Structure 1
Amino acid sequence: MYSKYLKPILDFSFAGLCLVVISPLFLLITILLVFNNRGDAFFIQSRPGKNGKIFPIIKFKTMNDCKCADGKLLSDYERLTFIGKAVRKTSLDEIPQLINVLKGDMSLIGPRPLLPEYLELYSPEQNKRHAVKPGITGWAQVNGRNALSWEEKFRFDVEYVETVSARLDAKILLVTIEKVLHRNGVNANNYMTMDAFKGNAA
């Protein structure tokens, strides 16, 4: 009942309200990133949603496109801009995903949408994470985020799918707000991303 009817209504209502309330901040960050990145304020990438359906996720672009002499992109750390660091450190880069929630691609809470190339690497158990819409935040994020191994993250994702409820969503939302305010749960230096998922050990 909750997952099928109430959760989508709450997602749409809350995302719409948030976008209206934070619209001045949204506009300010967009303008700053346009100048800082010399053109692009948004990062759009294909991600798998519910049942593995691919959709374009929207985030603020925190890295520029600078390349080295051989034409390859510089490392994440080298491409992360001053404004980008501040936006990522405060998790403000996730704000545009509220648009994905309004479109119905995502939920406020659910397993984080990962890369499409990971789809063929999941075990049947891990693939259960796609039984619900992906979320801006989730059970794995409030239990360690990038400090967790891939296997630990997937266990939390599947646990969420199997126990989703209004009470659990409320708990995740409150803990997320607390972690964002205290800037906890990102990776060691707040800037780098996890190593790519390469599948399960044989």
Structure 2
Amino acid sequence: MMENSENNGARDFAESDFVTKLDQPLHHVYLPFKRLFDLLFATLLMIPSAILILIFMVLVKLETPGKCFYSQERVGLMGKRITITKLRSMYSGIEKKSGAMWAQKNDARITKVGHFMRKTRIDELPQLWSVIKGDMSLIGPRPERPRFTQQFSEEVPGFEQRLLVKPGLSGYAQVHGGYEDNPAEKLANDMYYIKHFGILTDLAIFFGTLRVVVTGDGAR
């Protein structure tokens, strides 16, 4: 019941005029502390994450041929182009045949190991390096590809407002939603995060993400 209430509040907020222009990033007293939070926890997570990454590199390689990692250009803070790296969760070269597509429920392009990695968010762990570099934060809206950012900005009013804050390794949308959520649903969750921007929100999402990684509970 509480989650439904939060999601309804997120949708209501996304339809409000809280942010009307994308002319400057969000200014908040928490931002310097958020950077310290990112560096501290990303560094602490590097060793256990490296172990998980090594294990799943082997599993990815055993299931399907191809590289264990792939990199993509994404859109970061205020439209800055960044490159992210993920563990490969799809069959190698599949997008050359299907083209770039929005992730779907029961997506046939995703491997068995890939389904598990997406369910637990393990495929995102290599991006801890992007957090340490400063391209991303631990918590924030997930960065989209340039073509999808442009498309959804044209189709969903206010979609580009997600760029007011640094993209995250995980976010409110990842804990309370799923890969198959449509752009409007993801925007609603991301804007709810921006409205409640602060350390308590980040801590709640951070520990919620750890729970998802450990149990898979709550991820769809």
Q: TM-score, normalized by length of structure 1?
A: 0.77
Contact 2:49 2:125 in 1 (8 A): no
Matched residue, 2:11: none
How far is the alpha carbon of 1:51 from its aligned partner?
0.4
Matched residue, 2:120: 90
Residue aligned with 1:164, SS: coil
- CA shift digits 1:21-76 (9 cap, x unpaired): 33222222223323434230102111100001111111100122366xxx834998
How far is the alpha carbon of 1:92 from its aligned partner?
1.2
Match among 54, 64, 70 for residue 27 of structure 1: 54
**Runs of 5+ unmatched residues, structure 1:** 188-202
Amino acid at match of 2:113: I
Aligned 1:35-184 pairs, distance under 5 A: 35-65=62-92, 72-73=97-98, 77-120=107-150, 121-122=152-153, 125-146=158-179, 148-184=181-217
Contact 2:73 2:146 in 1 (8 A): yes
CA RMSD after TM alignment: 2.7
Q: Report which stretch shifted further, 177-186 or 3-12.
A: 177-186
Q: Report which stretch shifted further, 152-161 or 31-40.
A: 31-40
Contact 2:120 2:219 in 1 (8 A): no
- Alignment length (residue pairs): 184
| Cα distance in 1 for residues equivalent to 2:82 and 2:93 | 26
| Cα distance in 1 for residues equivalent to 2:134 and 2:82 | 10
Structure 1 170/117 Cα, relative in aligned 2: closer, same or farther at 3 Å?
same
Amino acid at match of 1:140: A
Amino acid at match of 1:21: P
Q: Structure with the greater relative contact order (CA < 8 A, sep ≥ 6): 1 or 2? A: 2
Q: Percent identity?
A: 34
